[in-house]
Amino acid sequence: MTRNPRAWRTGLHRALLACSRPEPWKRGPVLTVLALLLGLLPLLHATIPDFAGLGSLVESILPWLGVFIPALLAAACWRRSLSAATALLLPAVVWTTLFGGLLPDKSHPGGDLTVVAHNVGAANPDPVGTAHTLAASGADLLALEELTPQAAPLYEKALAKTYPHHAIRGTVGLWSKLPLSGTRTIDIMNYGPLAATRPTAATLPENRALHTTVTTPDGPLAVYVAHLGSVRLTPRTGFWTTSRNIGAAALTRAIATERNPHVLLLADLNGTWDDRAFTDLRAHLNSTQQASGTGFGFTWPTAFPMARIDQILYRGLTADRSWTLPETGSDHLPVAATLTWP
């Protein structure tokens, strides 16, 4: 089939003529502004004041800003607005730069240690089934959060055969195939500099974090298990993060003073890794999902995961693979990772 050069030149001329007219560039000024704001927001999120938790809330949904790009593009096409369509290049480039690297599979063979962290859910109707599902993962270390006094003995019994060593402190516990020593509670609810800002109603009496040392064939490994305070979105308080932020500060202080160069944190942070509450913690630990995962690895809620608030973080090790396990009776998905000793 031969092409008609004259027809091709005529079509190109018409397209250039349409673009040169002022009308398409003047259409959709609101869409153009929205497109520019959509590109600037991920770049400048750290400058957003945290009044009523606004900054923290925005940082929790940063990856989801990308869904507005095709929506605005469709609106720009409908309005035939060249200015809006051109402005959308900014958020497209910004989103790809910030989050595009998370999408490919970054895992690689290897792994001396397999670990799993899971908020099992206080309302979990099947603790025994959940325990069996987690044990079937083959994990060497299994961290559970949100244990209740009623469910904890059930987990102990169901996991005893696979994990001969375990420690429970309050609502968190660690089960291990390797020996544990020096287990202690970490108070993450009453950290001095921030505790005074927490309303009395936010006080959580139970222990929510522990530290222990795992004896591995390659040497001692410092392991922290934590469940930070919940966040609440209400008309009166906005995005309330006070208890969570207190726990983040206390946990950061403990890890910053940890002398062991090899550290694992298995936790429900009740916040995404991009949240400003974890700025200082990011200086001491790395995310297995960002280093060796595929995609965003969202873990909550199980019905439609929208955020990764459950984390496996590390220092002094190499992350080989990170993934989520199938849902259990909890409203969180379990997270798993394999790591290699240096």
- Residue 123: inside a domain: yes
Q: Is residue 47 part of a domain?
A: yes
Do 16 and 146 have their domain in common? no
Residues 187 and 278 in one domain: yes
Q: What is the DSSP letter of 146?
A: S
Give the span between the Cα atoms of 161 and 46, in whole angstroms: 48
CB 319 within 8 A of CB 341: no
Residues 22 and 129 in one domain: no
306 sits in which H/E element: none
Asked if omega into 305 is within 30° of 0 (cis), the reply is no
* pLDDT tens digits for range 80-127: 899 999 999 999 999 999 999 999 999 999 889 999 999 999 999 999
Q: Is residue 108 part of a domain?
A: no
Check the CA dihedral 292-294-296-299 and report its sign. negative
- Quick one: what percent of the chain has pLDDT higher than 90? 77
Residues 184 and 280 in one domain: yes
Q: What's the average model confidence in pLDDT over 302-320?
A: 97
Q: How many domains does the chain have?
A: 2
Sign of CA dihedral 78, 84, 90, 91: negative
Is 137 in the same domain as 26?
A: no
Query: For residue 31, with 0-12 CB atoms within 10 Å meaning exposed, 13-18 middle and 19 or more buried, which class applies?
Result: buried
233 vs 176: which has the higher pLDDT: 176
Give burial (CB, 10 Å; 0-12/13-18/19+) of 49: exposed
Q: Which domain holds residue 182?
A: 113-340
Query: Looking at residue 320, which CATH number applies to its domain?
Result: 3.60.10.10
User: 102, 125, 157: which is the final residue of a domain?
Assistant: 102
- Whether the per-residue pLDDT at 289 is higher than 80: the answer is yes
pLDDT for residue 16: 44
| Same-domain pairing of 91 and 117 | no
Same-domain check for residues 190 and 41:
no
- Specify whether the CB–CB gap between 307 and 283 falls below 8 A: no
Residue 248 lies in a domain: yes
CB-based contact 185:112 (threshold 8 Å): no
Q: Is residue 92 part of a domain?
A: yes
* Structural domain includes residue 160: yes
Q: Is 77 in contact with 266 (CB distance < 8 Å)?
A: no
- Cβ-based neighbours of 116, under 8 Å, separated by 6 or more: 134, 137, 139, 141, 142, 143, 266, 325, 334, 335, 336
* Out of 1-15, 83-97, 127-141, 294-308, least confident range: 1-15
> In terms of Cα–Cα distance, which of 55, 60, 116 is closest to 271?
60
Shared-domain flag, residues 57 and 145 = no
- Partners of residue 215 on adjacent β-strands: 220
* In a shared domain, residues 36 and 156: no
Q: What is the mean pLDDT of residues 173-177?
A: 98
The whole-number average pLDDT for the span 146-159 is: 97
- Last residue of some domain: 48, 82, 102? 102
pLDDT value for 136: 96
pLDDT, mean over the chain: 90
Write down the number of H helices and E strands in the chain.
Answer: 13, 14
Looking at the structure, tell me whether residues 79 and 147 fall in a common domain: no
pLDDT category, 246, cuts 50, 70, 90? very high
Q: Please give the model's pTM, rounded to 2 decimal places.
A: 0.88
**Are 187 and 78 members of one domain?**
no
Q: Which among 41, 72, 102 is the end of a domain?
A: 102
Quick one: 166 and 268 in the same domain?
Answer: yes
| Residue 107 placed within a domain | no
Position 324 pLDDT exceeds 60: yes
pLDDT tens profile 7-63:
555 554 554 444 455 566 667 889 999 999 999 999 999 899 888 888 999 999 999
- How do residues 207-230 score in pLDDT, each as one tens digit? 899 999 999 999 999 999 999 998
